[in-house]
């Protein structure tokens, strides 16, 4: 008969060694993207809410007009990507810090990455394929250049 | 004549007397032979202004309940054996005066340090902690011929890592770290502090290897700079600062 007793003097071992620069790049990205996002987001808020008539200006024509310009397309695209990667990476570290079981971690991360992919793909698609002048729309709702 | 003498000695003891007070100690007990559940136990003791938490634990063990189990060796803040959680903060029992813990405002809560498996009462299994310490190779690494005399170092070069040489491996920092509490896989502040002690030592040549080891998913990048470790350190080491310096060294190495 063999007894299954753990060796009481067995040294503790880390579950696995995971050496790579991934966490370092993640850490650096958080700092870099944070600074860029401050500029992008406050620029976005200023242009949308403060300039001219402010928030009352925002309608389909305003958004359509903005996305007709490559400058605002790139601004919004950069804001979308940086904010989504920054936020997802932040939530990823929170999951790593608080979820104790591997299963919980895996489930939460699958949810997180699915939400990330959905939002980024959909957002990018909209920014590039947005039609500011849809056919058969009433003219008073459309941007002036239609 | 005798009466006068007696009177004199009386006033002298009163003037030099150490103030005594009642103190309630609430200890988290865990005795695996009896039960799988930990429980709280209260002791009310008469202690003096010069007494430390360790003296209260001694008084309980020696006079009330001999089953109370805790570690202590030197009892003077050098050996690092008696790190425990006192009123929710990691402290050395031998360096914490009872009078500084507001004993008149409710019981003083004494628990084992968090994040390491409890063996009995206030004793935890330090093996995971020491395993991380061993992983960072806490010894001098050199190459080439040994010098015939000493390895020379300037006062400035010595000053660079002076702070992190003070570590006594009590685990107060590591077991105060919320990241370590989750799954105990994080290297922890103490291992990083002791790596820092060699990384920034001008005589040592193993910095690259140590940085490589700590550039792990469970290494320095898990630090969230909550400063719990700096707050807990009984030697006053600026632990969080040391971790940040190791991070900076890693970034420098990458560029």
**Chain segment B162-175, per-residue pLDDT in tens:** 999 999 999 999 99
B176-198 pLDDT tens trace:
999 999 888 899 999 999 999 99
> Does ipTM top 0.90?
no
- Return d(Cα B113, Cα B118) in angstroms, integer: 9
As given in the structure block, the two tokens for residue B61 are 């063990």
Partner residues linked to B46 by β-bridges: B22
Q: Where are the domains of chain B?
A: 18-124, 127-254
Q: Do A20 and B217 count as a contact with CB atoms less than 8 A apart?
A: yes
Cβ within 8 Å, pair B182-A99: yes
Q: How deeply is B232 buried, as exposed, middle or buried, from its count of CB atoms within 10 A (0-12, 13-18, 19+)?
A: buried
pLDDT (mean) for A119-144 = 85
Residues 6+ apart with CB under 8 A from B75: B54, B82, B94
Q: Which superfamily does B127-254 belong to?
A: Alpha-helical ferredoxin (1.10.1060.10)
B127 CB within 8 Å of a chain A CB? yes
On the 0-12 / 13-18 / 19+ scale of CB atoms within 10 A, B229 is buried
Q: How many CB atoms lie within 10 A of CB A58?
A: 13
Fold of the domain built from segment(s) B18-124 = Ubiquitin-like (UB roll) (3.10.20)
How far is the alpha carbon of A103 from chain B, nearest alpha carbon, in Å? 13
pLDDT digits (tens, 9 = 90+) for B122-157: 999 999 999 999 999 999 999 989 899 999 999 999
In chain A the domains, ranked by start, together with CATH numbers, are 22-133 (1.20.1300.10)
Q: What local confidence, expressed as pLDDT, does residue B15 receive?
A: 64
Residues in CB range of A94: below 8 A, 6 or more apart: none
Angle at B172 between CA B113 and CA B107, to 5 degrees: 50
Give the number of A-B residue pairs with CB atoms closer than 8 Å.
55
**Closest approach of B198 to chain A, Cα-based (Å):** 20
B215 and A15 within 8 Å at the Cβ level: the answer is no
């Amino acid at each position: 008969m063999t007894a299954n007793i753990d060796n009481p003097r067995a040294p503790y071992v880390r579950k696995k060694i995971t050496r790579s620069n991934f966490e370092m790049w993640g850490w650096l990205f958080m700092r870099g993207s944070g600074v860029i996002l401050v500029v992008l987001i406050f620029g976005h808020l200023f242009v949308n809410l403060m300039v001219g008539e402010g928030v009352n200006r925002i309608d389909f024509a305003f958004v359509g007009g903005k996305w007709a310009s490559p400058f605002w397309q790139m601004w919004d695209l950069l804001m979308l990507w940086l904010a989504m990667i920054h936020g997802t990476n932040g939530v990823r570290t929170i999951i790593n810090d608080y979820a104790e079981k591997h299963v919980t971690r895996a489930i939460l991360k699958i949810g997180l990455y699915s939400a990330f992919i959905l939002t980024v793909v959909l957002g990018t698609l909209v920014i590039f394929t947005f039609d500011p002048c849809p056919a058969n729309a009433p003219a008073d709702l459309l941007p002036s250049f239609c | 004549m005798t009466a006068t003498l007696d009177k004199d000695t009386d006033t002298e003891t009163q003037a030099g007397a150490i103030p005594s007070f009642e103190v309630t100690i609430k200890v988290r007990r865990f005795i695996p032979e009896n039960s799988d559940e930990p429980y709280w136990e209260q002791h009310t003791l008469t202690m003096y202004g010069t007494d430390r938490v360790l003296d209260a634990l001694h008084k309980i063990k020696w006079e009330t309940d001999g089953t109370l189990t805790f570690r202590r060796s030197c009892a003077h803040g050098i050996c690092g054996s008696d790190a425990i959680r006192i009123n929710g903060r990691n402290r050395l029992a031998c360096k914490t005066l009872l009078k500084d813990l507001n004993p008149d405002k409710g019981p003083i809560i004494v628990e084992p340090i968090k994040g390491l498996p409890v063996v009995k009462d206030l004793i935890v299994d330090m093996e995971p902690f020491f395993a991380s310490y061993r992983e960072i190779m806490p010894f001098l690494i050199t190459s080439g011929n040994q010098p015939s005399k000493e390895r020379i170092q300037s006062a400035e070069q010595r000053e660079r890592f002076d702070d992190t040489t003070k570590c006594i491996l009590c685990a107060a920092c590591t077991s105060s770290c919320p990241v370590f509490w989750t799954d105990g896989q994080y290297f922890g502040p103490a291992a990083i502090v002791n790596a820092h002690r060699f990384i920034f030592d001008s005589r040592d040549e193993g910095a690259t290897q140590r940085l490589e080891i700590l550039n792990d998913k469970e290494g320095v990048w898990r630090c969230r700079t909550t400063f719990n470790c700096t707050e807990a350190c009984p030697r006053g080491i600026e632990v969080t600062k040391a971790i940040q310096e190791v991070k900076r060294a890693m970034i420098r190495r990458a560029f």
